[in-house]
């Protein structure tokens, strides 16, 4: 069966990026360490995927300090939310296509 992959967002091809986006869409914001724990990934891995999503304009990064510790909060941008919704829709359509 041939499926058009055009509707799929390249940014979400990677599973971790999609997972990051799921968390950020469901929450107002999330910090780096909590994300790391939740997704069970390494610092470097998470950082590179966050960078990619930031470049795409899908997430908003807010750096601050709590005492002396850096605290970086991430939240989904409106573009990111829209893209995530479209991606989910595409997944859903794919299932429908395969059923018919």
User: Residue 21 and residue 27: Cα distance in Å, rounded?
Assistant: 10
Q: Is 6 in the site for another protein (CB under 8 A)?
A: no
Q: Tell me which of 2, 10, 37, 67 binds another protein, using CB under 8 A.
A: 37
Give the residue from 63, 84, 72, 93 showing the smallest Cα distance to 19.
84
For residue 62, the cross-strand partners are 73
**Least distance in angstroms from the C-beta of 96 to another protein:** 11
Closer to another protein by Cβ: residue 6 or 37:
37
Q: Is 26 in the site for another protein (CB under 8 A)?
A: yes
């Amino acid at each position: 069966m041939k499926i058009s992959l055009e509707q799929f967002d390249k940014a979400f091809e990677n599973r971790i990026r999609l997972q990051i986006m799921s968390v950020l869409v469901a929450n107002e914001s999330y910090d780096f360490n909590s994300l790391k724990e939740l997704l069970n990934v390494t610092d470097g891995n998470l950082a590179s995927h966050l960078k990619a999503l930031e470049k795409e304009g899908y997430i908003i990064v807010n750096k601050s300090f709590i005492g002396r510790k850096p605290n970086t909060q991430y939240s989904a941008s409106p573009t990111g939310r829209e893209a995530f919704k479209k991606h989910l829709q595409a997944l859903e359509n794919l299932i429908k296509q395969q059923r018919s």
